[in-house]
Amino acid sequence: MRIRMVRRIFALSVGALLCLAALGVRLFQLQILQGPALTRQVFSQRTERLPLQMRRGMIYDRYGEPLTDPQSTWGLAVFPRLFGDPAAVAPVLAEALGEEQAAAVLEYVQRHHEAAWVIEGLSAAAAARAQQHAADGRLPGVAVGPTGWRYGPGSLARHLVGFANASGGWTGLELAYDEALRGENVPYLVASYHGRGGPLFDVPVQVVQPRDPGGKEPHDVHTSLDARIQAAVELELDRTAHPSGGPLRAAVVVMDVATGEPLAIASRPNFDQARFATEDELRNRAITPYETGSVFKPIVAAAALEAGAIVPGEVIECSGAYRLGDRTFRNVAGTVQGPVTLREAIARSCNTAFIRIGYERLGADRLLEAARRFGLGEPTGALPPGYEPVAPLPELRYGGDVAQLSFGQGGLMASPLQVARAYTAIANGGTLHPVRLVSSVRKSDGEVIFRPRAEASRRVMSRETAAELHAALLAAVVPGGGGTGEAAWLEDVGAAGKSGSADTVLDGRPVTHAWFAGWFPARQPQYVVVVFIEDGRAGGAHAAPLFRRIAEAILGLD
């Protein structure tokens, strides 16, 4: 009996010791190993903070002009848990801010519990009054601080720049270069609460500076855009109505002929970077692939000349129709028929002549190789990998597919930026440049952090072939020549280029996209301009005149 009791006491003692040991281990974990983290967690649950400003680098044009038109402003922050009695605070708010803004603050406090910047763009006078009342204790839970608007009313290239908020970049360059643009160690407005929910310190809302002054500073992104040219392009787009009378859905790219650098990249409809925008408004049509239509014909001509499949001055038949198996291909209504040279086939945009060149003389492989050679089906290099949509080249399974590709139809898609790159190669005599949009990323003092790497330029045709295309594209625009792009002609300096009307299906209905791609001055090219109008009906009738107006606006800047 006694032995059993001793065993029982021993077992209970061992059990108690094991429990105490487990409790000791757990206390060690909570107090020693996890103590600091738990302390921070508890403190964070009793602390609210708001960044005083969004620390991000700027996005500049080639001359150091900010593209976002930043504005310096004041903001009003509200910490609802410190606000007190809304009825007592309401008249003070109205006196400081005015009735409308005071009502906005009161509505926020009644509906929300978390701290927020409730008003941005506060006038200096209202900010001063609110700050004084907060210091006097008449506006508990209210603080004033510099916030600033990253995007002002004069913000340019919005689709390309994109937008960012406190959590970082969401679209465009803001997203693609988010890591470089971000800054650390942002000063905060901080409110801390005790267990009963009141302020923990005598000063309810405090400004807390970053603890680590050595954190990464925001870096600036410098681009090749020219803010003056960008603004001129956007003004002309905003002055232009869609052929249907609805909102304009279009894109324009302007490139420097000598370097291949983009000087302007614009898309419409536009959007407000500080407010919600629809998916359609956010779409950057300048980098979106679309069916090319006849703007592809000069590339087919270049391939034929380079391969010796046709020689300058050779006559080709431009018939009203071309029958291939059970399919019949036709020219656009109004195309002059009869024997034509290559220059005339380009100027008149004769589909059947190009079927004879592309289908009969080049074939599928050489047509696709021509598209690849001029940069179609590959990124331009303007944005980091993964940020530029690219359409693959079409699969040519049947003879009809090859015939369609010969005049730019049949699923061949390219963005206005890709088309501008290809036409820059024609304009400069045959060299295809990578699109160097971002020239450098720098510190605020100008020190270069890095320069994005770009592929080497490559020659895609001989100067002799380029010269033949120059003559053909000039004939397409010069008045009285019967070309499809006469509406693009510029007095005194001239212009050269090609219109395009691409038949396709959009949102389940048949549409025709309008293109014009060309350059000016005609003899000594300086600028390539590509105009694209979604559902624009006819390139010669609608895209070419917009090209002319944009070119005139650019010439007016000099």
> Residues 123, 256: one domain?
no
> Residues 240, 170: one domain?
no
Strands 220-223 and 59-60: parallel
Strands 142-146 and 188-192: unpaired
**DSSP assignment string, 21-70:** HHHHHHHHIIIIISHHHHHHHHHHHTEEEEESS--B--EE-TTS-BSS--
In a domain, 45, yes or no: no
- 527 φ, ψ to 5°? -125, 130
- What pLDDT score does 336 carry? 82
> Residues 263, 171: one domain?
no
Interatomic CA distance for residues 377 and 372, integer angstroms: 6
In a domain, 32, yes or no: no
Tokens of 129: 């009054």
Q: Which of 452, 375, 441, 416 is nearest to 532 (CA)?
A: 416
In a domain, 256, yes or no: yes
User: In terms of residue numbers, what domain contains 159?
Assistant: 56-222
In a domain, 395, yes or no: yes
> Residues 217, 272: one domain?
no
Report pLDDT digits (tens) over 202-237: 556 666 666 666 677 899 999 999 999 999 999 999
Interatomic CA distance for residues 554 and 226, integer angstroms: 11
> Residues 263, 356: one domain?
yes
Interatomic CA distance for residues 308 and 455, integer angstroms: 29
Q: Which of 230, 311, 258 is nearest to 433 (CA)?
A: 258
- What pLDDT score does 30 carry? 47
- What pLDDT score does 454 carry? 83
> Residues 355, 492: one domain?
yes
> Residues 477, 548: one domain?
yes
Paired with 324 in beta bridges are 327
Paired with 499 in beta bridges are 516
pLDDT in tens, the chain (558 residues): 566 665 666 556 655 566 565 555 555 554 555 555 544 444 444 778 777 766 789 999 999 999 999 988 888 888 888 888 888 889 999 999 999 999 999 999 888 888 888 888 888 899 999 989 988 888 888 888 887 788 999 999 999 999 998 778 999 999 999 999 998 766 777 877 766 556 555 556 666 666 666 677 899 999 999 999 999 999 999 999 999 888 899 999 999 999 999 999 999 999 999 888 899 999 999 999 999 999 999 999 999 999 999 999 999 999 989 999 889 999 887 788 899 999 999 999 999 999 999 999 999 999 999 999 999 999 999 999 999 999 999 999 999 999 999 999 989 999 999 999 999 999 999 999 999 999 999 998 899 999 998 889 999 999 999 999 999 999 999 999 889 999 999 999 999 999 999 999 988 899 999 999 999 999 999 999 999 999 999 999 999 999 999 999 999 997
- What pLDDT score does 548 carry? 98
- What pLDDT score does 42 carry? 41
Structurally, the chain folds into a number of domains equal to 2
What 3 state SS string does 376-398 have?
CCCCCCCCCCCCCCCCCCCCCCC
Place of tokens 């601080």: 145
Question: Distance of CA 130 to CAs 99, 187, 285, Å?
Answer: 13, 20, 45
> Residues 97, 120: one domain?
yes
Give the DSSP letter of residue 252: E
Choose one of 204, 222, 240: the last residue of a domain.
Answer: 222
CATH number at residue 393: 3.40.710.10
Report pLDDT digits (tens) over 265-310: 999 999 999 888 899 999 999 999 999 999 999 999 999 999 999 9
Interatomic CA distance for residues 549 and 299, integer angstroms: 26
CATH number at residue 175: 3.90.1310.10
Q: Which of 403, 163, 174 is nearest to 272 (CA)?
A: 163
Instruction: Please name the helix (run of DSSP H) or strand (run of DSSP E) that holds residue 190, with its range, or none.
Output: strand 188-192
Q: What share of the chain is helix, strand, coil (3-state, %, to 5)?
A: 40, 20, 40
> Residues 276, 205: one domain?
no
Q: Which of 195, 197, 92 is nearest to 142 (CA)?
A: 92
